[in-house]
């Protein structure tokens, strides 16, 4: 009887000890109980990104991949998105590792701005499959020691940027390396493709018509303005700039309201399609001299901010040696 009682007592004690261990293991202070990696998915699988700021889900921003390109929705309209910026968003979240655990329950959500009303909530999908659903909160920055060299300071500065995040539906708050929320802007214009010219092929001719009427030609390795020799350094510098031109401010305008273009430039390339850029006199309700559009990004219209017109369209004398 005594032995049986001892065996029964030992079993009870063992069950109690095991239960206490499991409770402490789950709720204790040891950080190994928390996730070491918050997201894990293939970057190429992402077909849609949705996010909104500070609980404003009615104004969520949606970015969708279609035909190998990215498009952003605005006011029920789709616009080509800056693919490099979208790829950076995915890169930031596709393999998100935990740097440290900051909080274990919702009482500290407000401090780290990871609550629904304070955070940026981001969802990434592969078709209808949810790959990631995460709240991005505030970030902190630790200044590196003053005695470090400048190069070391820059490297350490990047390492010491921490963003506080929380997985949707979970309570813990984690610190992860990097500046995440700033990569998901509230202004849709920051996500749109600002390309005016992206000329990867070799440019051999630019034909100007309108305010300026002439052609800049490459003949046997020499640049000519119509039949006159051009200043080679000036022409080469201009063509190099013209290979990649981006706008900075979008114009909310319809082509039908613009009339005829005031200036046109047709960029001809070896073994590639030509690119046509047009500049229109801006309507009186737009604070700009010109509105500029290109066949390289035909759905985007830009104002003449940062002297865009003068960067693209040069008068004839600009290239002449005796100017």
At residue 245 the predicted structure's pLDDT band, cuts being 50, 70 and 90, is very high
How far lies 274's CA from each of 198, 207, 280, 295, in Å? 11, 11, 20, 9
CA-based nearest residue to 137, from 155, 119, 121 = 119
| Average pLDDT value for the chain | 87
Q: Where are the beta strands (DSSP E) in 240-318?
A: 244-246, 263-269, 272-281, 290-294, 302-303
CA-based nearest residue to 310, from 223, 211, 225 = 211
Prediction pTM value: 0.78
pLDDT tens for each residue of 78-135? 899 999 999 999 999 999 999 999 999 999 999 999 999 999 999 999 999 999 999 9
Is there a contact between 114 and 135 (Cβ–Cβ < 8 Å)? yes
The residue that leads in pLDDT, 8 or 320, is: 320
Given this model, what pLDDT does residue 74 score? 77
Given this model, what pLDDT does residue 120 score? 97
Is there a contact between 120 and 134 (Cβ–Cβ < 8 Å)? no
pLDDT tens for each residue of 157-203? 455 789 999 999 999 999 999 889 889 999 898 999 999 999 877 89
| pLDDT mean over 229-234 | 94
Given this model, what pLDDT does residue 156 score? 47
Question: Phi and psi at residue 204, in whole multiples of 5°?
Answer: -120, -10
CA distance 143 to 145: 7
CA-based nearest residue to 98, from 189, 163, 9 = 163
At residue 316 the predicted structure's pLDDT band, cuts being 50, 70 and 90, is very high
Q: How far apart are the first and last CA of the chain?
A: 116
At residue 37 the predicted structure's pLDDT band, cuts being 50, 70 and 90, is very high
Strand partners, 139: 163
Six token digits for residue 11 = 């079993």
- The yes-or-no verdict on residue 31 having pLDDT over 50 is no
């Amino acid at each position: 009887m005594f032995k049986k009682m001892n065996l029964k007592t030992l079993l009870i004690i063992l069950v109690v000890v095991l239960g206490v261990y499991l409770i402490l293991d789950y709720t204790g202070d040891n950080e190994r109980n928390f996730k070491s990696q918050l997201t894990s998915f293939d970057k190429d699988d992402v077909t849609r990104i949705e996010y909104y700021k500070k609980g404003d889900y009615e104004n969520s921003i949606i970015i969708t991949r279609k035909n190998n390109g990215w498009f952003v929705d605005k006011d029920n309209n789709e616009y080509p998105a800056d693919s490099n910026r979208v790829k950076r968003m995915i890169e930031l979240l596709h393999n998100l590792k935990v740097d440290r655990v900051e909080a274990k329950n919702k009482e500290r959500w407000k401090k780290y701005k990871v609550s629904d009303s304070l955070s940026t909530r981001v969802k990434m999908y592969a078709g209808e499959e949810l790959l990631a659903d995460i709240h991005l909160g505030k970030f902190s920055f630790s200044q590196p020691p003053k005695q470090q060299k400048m190069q070391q300071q820059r490297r350490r500065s990047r390492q010491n940027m921490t963003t506080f995040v929380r997985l949707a539906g979970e309570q813990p708050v984690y610190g992860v390396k990097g500046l995440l929320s700033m990569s998901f802007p509230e202004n849709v214009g920051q996500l749109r493709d600002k390309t005016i010219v992206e000329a990867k092929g070799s440019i051999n001719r630019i034909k100007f018509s309108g305010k300026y009427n002439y052609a800049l030609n490459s003949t046997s390795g020499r640049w000519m303005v119509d039949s006159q020799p051009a200043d080679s350094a000036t022409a080469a510098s201009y063509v190099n700039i013209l290979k990649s031109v981006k706008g900075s401010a979008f114009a909310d305008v319809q082509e039908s309201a613009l009339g005829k273009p005031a200036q046109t430039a047709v960029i001809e390339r070896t073994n590639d399609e030509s690119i046509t850029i047009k500049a229109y006199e801006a309507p009186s309700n737009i604070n700009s001299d010109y509105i500029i559009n290109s066949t390289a990004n035909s759905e985007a219209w830009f104002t003449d901010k940062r002297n865009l017109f003068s960067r693209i369209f040069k008068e004839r004398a600009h290239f002449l040696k005796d100017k």
